[in-house]
Amino acid sequence: MESSASILPLSQLPSVFPQKPKRSNLPYNPSWLSNSKPRASRPPRMHCHKMYVPGFGEASPEAKAANNLHSFFTYVAVSIVCAQLESYNTEAYEELMEFLSRNSLNDGDQFCANLMRESSRHKGLALRILEVRSAYCKNDFEWDNLQRLAFKMVDESNTRLMRDYVLEISHVEGEQEK
Amino acid sequence: MESSASILPLSQLPSVFPQKPKRSNLPYNPSWLSNSKPRASRPPRMHCHKMYVPGFGEASPEAKAANNLHSFFTYVAVSIVCAQLESYNTEAYEELMEFLSRNSLNDGDQFCANLMRESSRHKGLALRILEVRSAYCKNDFEWDNLQRLAFKMVDESNTRLMRDYVLEISHVEGEQEK
């Protein structure tokens, strides 16, 4: 079944770490510092060959990234359900789009919780979104491809940044020699 | 070598898709639609068993997620370098923190490009950040763990959302029966 593309507003996209209200934007925020454990009581650091990543408190970088992907999967699941509905259930599609216009997808779980409580028809949509995001995360999303693309991206970006710099510098030096 | 935690301002964290200025926040934006290919010229969709994910244009969801992780790795690399410098090179640490207070980490590549051009000492720091983000992405970041945590997160979130809803509903029904 061919369904045409449905477009979600990009403002709905979750930001990387929306669920950290306690941390302020200030670089040296006393409330942030008071939330972290005092240094004296920290457990001794495990010795391993990995680089020390500071500032992640109890959550690992992997957990932060997974949390971010979780929001992304909810966004993708809503997109998938919208596209499915658009082609064969216009009424439900309109209802979901109307709900989307009133509710932010920044916090995907909160969005689903609100959707469940809107009406019994909305509840059906919410359960479907939960099911789709689980299926998408576990079956459809290409994890190997994600890793491959990230490796490629870091190599290409590093090369481009250094090449651009060298080109710029050699150009400036060429100008000075004239 | 033990280094104490250095804290980066969370406002520096990149948002999920910062590099899409053409797409507006409006749900039905004519300029967005005009940027997408007309439907008639679209290549026929590949038949596969995966769900159709609309609205990603040329970039796949995996590419979007990789792009987001790329920004995250730059943020982590800056944190790592800050923590390393803090313990044995206070001067360079101060310089990097001062540069961080003036420059956003939202676009990690742009941040590195600016850092390279600040001074020759800053250039050294920038090259180190590039090296660290590549090493972190390829060696230290636990990709299997990321996938495991994301699977766990989607299961737990779905269970919690449904359980909370059922508890709430049964409570309301209990109230009504009194």
Measure in Å the smallest separation between the Cα of A178 and chain B Cα atoms: 22
- The confidence score (pLDDT) of residue A2 equals 42
Report domain extents, chain A. Answer: 61-141
**pLDDT-above-70 percentage for chain B:** 71
Interatomic CA distance for residues B159 and B162, integer angstroms = 5
A46 pLDDT more than 70? no
Closest to B67 (Cβ–Cβ): which among A9, A83, A153?
A: A153
- The confidence score (pLDDT) of residue B40 equals 45
Q: Work out the average pLDDT over B149-153.
A: 96
CB atoms within 10 A of CB B74: 26
Provide, as residue numbers in chain B, all residues whose Cβ is less than 8 Å from the Cβ of A70: 150, 153-154, 157
What band does B49 get if pLDDT is binned at 50, 70 and 90?
Answer: confident
Lowest-pLDDT range, A122-131, B33-42, B53-62? Answer: B33-42
Closest to B6 (Cβ–Cβ): which among A4, A55, A147?
A: A55
Q: Chain B within 8 Å of A88 (Cβ-Cβ)?
A: no
Provide, as residue numbers in chain B, all residues whose Cβ is less than 8 Å from the Cβ of A139: 50
Do the beta carbons of residue B25 and residue A11 sit within 8 Å?
yes
CATH class of the structural domain A61-141:
mainly alpha
What band does A10 get if pLDDT is binned at 50, 70 and 90?
Answer: very low
Work out the mean pLDDT of chain B and round it to a whole number: 79
Do the beta carbons of residue B2 and residue A50 sit within 8 Å?
no
Q: Which residue of B has its CA nearest to A59?
A: B149
CB atoms within 10 A of CB A29: 16
Q: Which of A44-48, A168-172, B81-85 has the highest mean pLDDT?
A: B81-85
In B, residues 17-36, which contact A (CB 8 Å cutoff)? Answer: 17, 20, 23-28, 32-33, 36
Q: Work out the average pLDDT over B122-145.
A: 95
pLDDT tens per residue across span B88-104 = 899 999 999 999 999 99
- ∠ CA A91-A99-B63, nearest 5°, is 100
What band does B169 get if pLDDT is binned at 50, 70 and 90?
Answer: confident
- Global confidence as pTM: 0.72
Q: Work out the average pLDDT over A148-160.
A: 96
**pLDDT-above-70 percentage for chain A:** 70
Q: Which residue of B has its CA nearest to A21?
A: B10
Provide, as residue numbers in chain B, all residues whose Cβ is less than 8 Å from the Cβ of A15: 13, 15-16
ipTM: 0.71
Closest to B3 (Cβ–Cβ): which among A28, A52, A63?
A: A52
Q: Chain A within 8 Å of B69 (Cβ-Cβ)?
A: yes
Among B153, B53, B111, CA closest to A59 = B153
